[in-house]
Amino acid sequence: MNKINYQKEFEKIISSFTSKPNLLLHSCCAPCSSYVLEYLNNFFNITVFFYNPNINIETEYQKRKEEQKRFIKEFSNNEISFIEGDYNIQDFYSAIKGEELKGEGSIRCKKCYTFRLEKTAILAKKNKYDYFCTTLSISPLKDSQVINKIGLELENKYNIPWLKSDFKKKNGYKRSIELSCEYNLYRQNYCGCSFSKLEAENKNREN
Ligand code: SF4
């Protein structure tokens, strides 16, 4: 099946704008959000939704959350809004039940994306945002085809427009590394859940 270029789809959407719509943007962490916010800030009024109960322990969760808030403050002088979701790790374990050991990029991650994006869609609908989206597609380890498919399914389910996108394009990942250095952002070496931490440690041992 042919892959869809979601950067091109994004460009089609923004080409019709005459003013800045309101966007609820799920963010997984400050480094991934850095380029995405730099880019999207040109086209949208943005609220960042930090909803990540997948993060393995609370100290790590708080660290990533505080970095997210610091980046928003330093980058936009708090012009970009911030909302924190609930941190209940049991919700994550319930969402991925039965798929725990499938590995990064598997059905486990698909369920994890759906779990976090569904909450984002519901909040976007409730608070009458024009679009909802996520930073997740910036990671080279995350398939933008899968993420956009989930977004579009949720668009249909909740009747709230999904912002088609692929933030890896236009050298987005490279730019996020530059911005992370510029703002001295904490860059974790695993995705977030306890399984991904173990997988990263095993990979390091093998190398
Ligand atoms: S590796 Fe990342 S995306 Fe996949 S389940 Fe764990 S936290 Fe979620």
Asked whether residue 1 is domain-assigned, the answer is no
pLDDT of residue 128: 98
pLDDT means over runs of 10, the chain (207 residues): 94 97 98 98 98 97 98 96 98 97 95 98 98 98 97 98 98 98 96 96 86
Domain around 23: 6-206
CA distance 62 to 152: 30
Residues with CB under 6 A from ligand 1: 54, 96, 104, 108-109, 112, 191-193, 195-196
CA distance 36 to 134: 9
pLDDT of residue 84: 98
Closest to 34 in 3D by CA, of 45, 55, 48: 48
Say how many domains are in the chain.
1
pLDDT of residue 124: 98
C-alpha 23 to ligand 1 mean position (Å): 24
CATH number of domain containing 45 = 3.40.50.620
Asked whether residue 67 is domain-assigned, the answer is yes
pLDDT of residue 114: 98
Residue with structure tokens 């399914």?
153
C-alpha 51 to ligand 1 mean position (Å): 13
